[in-house]
Amino acid sequence: MVKTHFSDDFAIARRNMVKEGLFARGIRDKRVLEVMGWMPRHVFVDEALWGEAYGDCSLPIGHGQTISRPYIVARMCELLKLSGSEKLLEVGLGSGYHAAVLSKLVRSVFAIERIPELAERARKKLEWLGIKNVIVRIGDGSVGWKSFAPFDRIVVSAAAAEIPSALPEQLTDSGRMVVPIGAQEEQCVMLLERRGDTILRKEIERVRFVRLVGEQRKRVGT
């Protein structure tokens, strides 16, 4: 029997992912758990990798990039404290999976991807899923998207040695930003909160992301 995108086999795999890979590891945001229990992650990877799509692992998507582990996607979404009304900037669209999850948790997603082939592939996947509140742009995400700023939330899906200075400047007052910072081998997820002219910073947990490329990336490992 040929598996369809929404076959029972994948539904069971998603439920197991949520139960064992997310809830058991401390994810408690009900909206995040619900969306990730529905969103078909396998659609965003090559068919040869469908059998691995719901394990807690990153997977290659071409061009030296990866789709993030489900736990990291859930953790970053939870840290953003989303109510559903936010305008959000995503730096590093990649496969489009994280943007797809976010599309069900916020009002609108402005996603930037520097690799045209990945941006176009992700755009088609989002369109196929009927997701209409993700605006995709090909370009340098490290400088943000000034024409649509300020943003209530910003999430960066690639690591830099230092926080790109242009991004916190594009947050609203009381806005939140999640970004991995550190050396190429290992980084730390940082949570930033804007309070007027002050940016509060908090280290969350160790992770490993592909490096951020762009004008303000501050080369990882230097």
Catalytic residues: 68
Among 19, 134, 14, 68, smallest CA distance to 5 is for: 14
* Burial tier of 191 (Cβ tally within 10 Å: 0-12, 13-18, 19+): middle
> Which residues are CB-contacts of 132 (< 8 A; sequence separation ≥ 6)?
none
Residue 83 CA to residue 62 CA, distance in Å, equals: 33
The CB density around residue 116, as the number of other CB atoms within 10 Å, is 11
**153-185 burial string, b = 16+ CB within 10 Å, else e?**
bbbbbbbbbebbebbbebbeeebbbbbbbbeee
Residue 126 CA to residue 220 CA, distance in Å, equals: 30
Check residue 179 and report its DSSP letter. E
Per the CB < 8 A criterion, the answer to whether 66 and 27 are in contact is: no
